[in-house]
Amino acid sequence: MHYWLMKSEPDVFGIDDMQAVGEDVWDGVRNYQARNFLREMKQGDLAFFYHSSTRPPGIVGLVEVVAEDIVDDTQFDPDSPYHDPRSSPDNPRWRTVRVAYRETFRHPITLDALKATFSPDKLLVVRKGNRLSVMPVAAKVAKRLLQMGRA
DNA sequence: GCCAACGTTGGC
DNA sequence: GCCAACGTTGGC
């Protein structure tokens, strides 16, 4: 079982939306490095839900991977902001996972707290200039994050 | 709203 | 294959 971190803008889709829908396809990722991490995800993996482009940014909850290797249909939708005209249904360029809401942390972990607790080589999201929207989290770090969030 | 960081595109 | 221009992310 592996841990991950996934970013979302609460103005677009936040942890409350995640809780409301219960389950959702994590669509809209259009970065190859992030997609490669999505491809590595397995059913049962847990992902920290991170709010970006908000004040304060930080980890707010937890979701679980419930289905692997899902085609992101928004790539074929001309009306979608995630439309990719160069991807073909025969060979979809963007695949993702389906996730289910698990919990909202009693104590959201702000980016400031993350920076104070973890060095950039331990937790990628605190690295300056990091723009990855999906990234792995080491088990040891994940355990600590769960403690902090649930405290 | 600004701007640093950095991924992508396209001309050559 | 290089690299300048451009677009996007995301913290502040």
Strand B: protein residues, Cβ closer than 7 A: A 31-33, 127-131
Name the residue with tokens 């839900």: A49
Indicate the pTM of the whole model. Answer: 0.95
* pLDDT for residue A88: 84
Is residue A151 within 8 Å of A17, Cβ to Cβ?
no
Which pLDDT tens digit goes with each residue over A126-142? 998 889 999 999 999 99
Per-residue flag: A117 CB under 7 A of strand C: no
Which pLDDT tens digit goes with each residue over A79-107? 888 988 888 888 899 999 999 999 999 99
Q: Considering all nucleic acid strands, name the nucleotide whose C1' atom is nearest to the C-alpha of residue A130.
A: B5
Report percent pLDDT > 90 for chain A: 87
Is residue A87 within 8 Å of A75, Cβ to Cβ?
yes
Q: Considering all nucleic acid strands, name the nucleotide whose C1' atom is nearest to the C-alpha of residue A35.
A: B7
Taking 90 as the threshold, does the pLDDT of residue A17 lie above it?
Answer: yes
* pLDDT for residue A85: 84
Per-residue flag: A113 CB under 7 A of strand C: no
Nucleotides of B under 7 A from a protein CB: 4-8
The distance (Å) linking the CA of A52 with the C1' of C12 is 12
